[in-house]
Structure 1
Amino acid sequence: MKHFILITSLLLSNASYFFSQTKNIKELLAKKRVVIIMLDGFGMNYYQNAPMPNLKRLTGTGFFREVKALMPTVTNANNTSICCGNFPDKNGITGNSFLAVNDKEEYMESKELVLSPTIFEKLKKYGIKSALLASKKKSIALLSKGADIALSPEIADSVWVKRLGKAPNIYSPEVNYWTMEAALDILKDQKDIRCLYIHTTDYPMHMWEPSDSNSLKHLMRIDEYIDKISKMAPDAMILITADHDLNHKDRCVDIENALAKKNVKVKIAISAERDKYLKHHRGFGGTSFVYLNDQKDEALVKKELLTIKGVKTVLTKKEASKEYHLMPERIGDLIVFADSLTVFGNLENKEEETLPANYRTHGSEYEIRVPLLILNAEHIPPASYFKYNKDLTTWLFREN
């Protein structure tokens, strides 16, 4: 009992010290800018395999912790949670797609769907200017509310093209370098922008495994940009995390077709990974939202789902909402999780398909391990504070 009291006292003492040292965000960002980098797909497999000497050097005097991404491990759910600093049950973004109240399958790519303030909106209340730079334009559509600058190479205007040159194709590693160049431009010439949020694309991770020379080349270039950012803005805190890892998958299952063969019908099964960037992953992912025609079908459908090869776990809406902090109104009646080698998606007239040897994607619990790094910052919370990628910036808003 004495040991428990002593440990508890030490933990409370450390937490009290941190919170007493944390400055008001306006005071903090008047002295130090903050650069937030959400490296899409930069899971632990990539972090551990890439040399990235500049990042590793900066981490030596900074903070690193392996944390969890949020389920489903898809970009919109995780990027929104990082940007808002809370779980999907609060911000409302539970995946890349969902079934709306009108029974229409919709992409989660509208700022009206985000139910919590973004970091840009929070900063605006303090009169602090911010910028969102995203290789994928969908992040601009989803998360730019409150940002003073919202820029994507996919929709760059003539002013930015004149500054940085024509934007590369979205399906290339070079598009990330263009986004990083835009960040350097703002850091150099627009010092009134006190917060930059940079979101890259994971296209290179979908194309190449961590040890592939092309992947290493891409991450070495990203590493060079991190070094340039630290030198261009020596005052800046640099906060880095990822939305998910990636792994090879060897088969895709069409849940609707697989159930139909068993004479079981559902309203629709939607891959949580489904978005408009089909060249990345064809819309296949490790989580599926299954919507029922009738709630009385729940037990039967769940039973049959568990007989399908590649299905690891099936949770009810209530179970998944509680387990993974998901908003129940924006997930299926049943949530299906795949095993390590399976993904779910629409295959038209087939039940399953063998995938190419180089196919890589995410969406399951097997892509949940991601790094969280904080560089050039003071009074960082204890390591125990950081459990998820969404915790990356929340500590900045703690006030005395």
Structure 2
Amino acid sequence: MKKSLLKSAIIYLLVTVVCGSTSYAQKRYNGQRIIVIMMDGFGEKYYRQALMPFLNQMEKEGIYKVVPSLMPAVTNVNNMAIATGTPPEQNGITGNVFYDDKKQQEVYIEDPSILLSPSIFQKAHAQGVKSALLSVKKKTIDVLGQYADYTICPECLTAQTKWNGTPLRFSDVYSREVSYQLFTAANTLLKTDKNVKLIYIHTTDYPMHMWPPESDSVKVFLTNIDNYIAQLHSTAPDAAILLTADHDLNHKSQAWDLEKYLAEQQTPVKIVISPEKDRYIVHHRGLGGAAYVYLQKSSDAEKVRQNLVKVQGVDAVLTKAEAVKKYHLMPSRIGDFMVLGDRETVFGHLETGSYEKLPDTYRSHGSEYEAQVPLFVFNAKKAPSADYFNWNYKLAAWLFNN
């Protein structure tokens, strides 16, 4: 009898905790319109160097913090985490590509079945809340667009676009203007369909790949973005604006093709994957500050590790277990080793040789040196306290959680 009562009490306590936390989160969404902005490549130096008076207002009147982003510091890892409110160990996204054991090759993350956690759009849809996903990158629409009521991107075909009214015209994906056009589309939605309660905007980091924070070219871009965000607030003063980034950017002076290098050292491996690699090669050539190394056989591990740690520009070589623990990664979707570059080193496929000196204009990301980003929560009536927002992926994790 006592055991039965104790068991009942434990079950009651667990139900109370689970339901209590759910209702706590649910109370935080009361029908307010929400604008989520994922500013690709927006590090704090970019924010501080540019004239952005509306973001300055958001900082003063709301919550502002500089928080860690997830590793590897690439778009898919962080964008999918922000859109699901979960880290890679839960959502399964460990790069822009991953090694598919069945196909025995690297695969771009463009299939929604690869995402293992429900997105904010799926949660909103389950509650009958209309949403919109506006992205510069088609891969974002491919993975997240299924449950959104509106979707657009510059490269989306008619079948992939869900939009009412006049067809939208976009500039080239490698431009500043394409992000402006997304904000214009968002502003139109706020005016024409007030039943849309969630708008998620994913901009491009192309300007940050092209120019450092002190460049007038990127300053103009960011000042214009600030004006567009101010317009959204003017159109929908009732709306909350939640903004963060996926990664920062830095100049990189050298690149290593670790697969070629290890073959040269007589310790060949199955494959080395750059989590940075995607279809937007003009941005970064697929080179990034982290790499996953897949062994041919486990007995090669120590010799391969010894050769990796000798590479100039390698900060650390982590085992799978170490990488999973440190960076909250899914073990089945990373290599036997995770290699981390220093501030000026990137890894990936090189056409000739295992090493290349990079031009002074080259900028990329992927390492811990790009894994700190700004976070803003503005005009959100039911948002958690500032302490809650200790990672970029927590930005909208508190919404639609029932």
Question: What displacement does 1:145 show?
Answer: 2.8
- Spell out, residue by residue over 1:114-149, the C-alpha distance to the aligned partner (whole angstroms, 9 max, x if none): 000000011111111111100111110121131111
- Spell out, residue by residue over 1:206-241, the C-alpha distance to the aligned partner (whole angstroms, 9 max, x if none): 001111000000001100011000011111000000
Deviates most, 356-365 or 18-27: 18-27
Equivalent position SS for 2:147 = coil
TM-score, normalised to structure 1's length? 0.91
* CA spacing shift, 1:156–1:225, aligned 2, 3 Å: farther
Cross-structure match for 1:118:
119
- Spell out, residue by residue over 1:323-345, the C-alpha distance to the aligned partner (whole angstroms, 9 max, x if none): 10000111111110001100001
Cross-structure match for 1:46:
46
1:220 equivalent among 202, 220, 223: 223
Cross-structure match for 2:128:
127
Deviates most, 138-147 or 127-136: 138-147
2:189 equivalent among 186, 189, 193: 186
Distance 2:96 2:21 in 1: 35
Q: CA RMSD in A?
A: 2.1
| Contact residue 29 and residue 382 of structure 2 kept, 8 A | no
| Contact residue 34 and residue 239 of structure 2 kept, 8 A | yes
Q: What are the within-5 Å matches in structure 2 for residues 47-126 of structure 1?
A: 47-102=47-102, 103-126=104-127
2:208 equivalent among 167, 182, 205: 205
Cross-structure match for 2:14:
none
TM-score, normalised to structure 2's length? 0.90
Cross-structure match for 1:270:
273
Question: What displacement does 1:168 show?
Answer: 0.1
* CA spacing shift, 1:94–1:226, aligned 2, 3 Å: same
Distance 1:50 1:123 in 2: 34
Distance 1:297 1:391 in 2: 39
Distance 1:94 1:164 in 2: 34
Equivalent position SS for 2:273 = strand
Cross-structure match for 1:140:
141
Structure 2 unaligned regions, length at least 5? 1-19
| Contact residue 271 and residue 295 of structure 2 kept, 8 A | yes
Question: What displacement does 1:21 show?
Answer: 10
Question: What displacement does 1:163 show?
Answer: 3.6
| Contact residue 254 and residue 358 of structure 2 kept, 8 A | yes
Question: What displacement does 1:24 show?
Answer: 3.0
| Contact residue 42 and residue 373 of structure 2 kept, 8 A | yes
Cross-structure match for 1:151:
152
- Spell out, residue by residue over 1:255-314, the C-alpha distance to the aligned partner (whole angstroms, 9 max, x if none): 011112211100111111000000000000001011000011111111110001111101
* CA spacing shift, 1:207–1:100, aligned 2, 3 Å: same
Distance 2:185 2:264 in 1: 51
**What is the number of equivalent residue pairs in this alignment?**
380
Cross-structure match for 2:306:
303
Deviates most, 241-250 or 293-302: 293-302
Question: What displacement does 1:26 show?
Answer: 8.7
Distance 1:289 1:26 in 2: 39
* CA spacing shift, 1:26–1:267, aligned 2, 3 Å: same
Distance 1:338 1:274 in 2: 15
2:349 equivalent among 346, 349, 360: 346
Question: What displacement does 1:396 show?
Answer: 2.8
Corresponding letter in the other structure for 1:166: R
* CA spacing shift, 1:39–1:241, aligned 2, 3 Å: same
* CA spacing shift, 1:318–1:166, aligned 2, 3 Å: same
Question: What displacement does 1:49 show?
Answer: 1.5
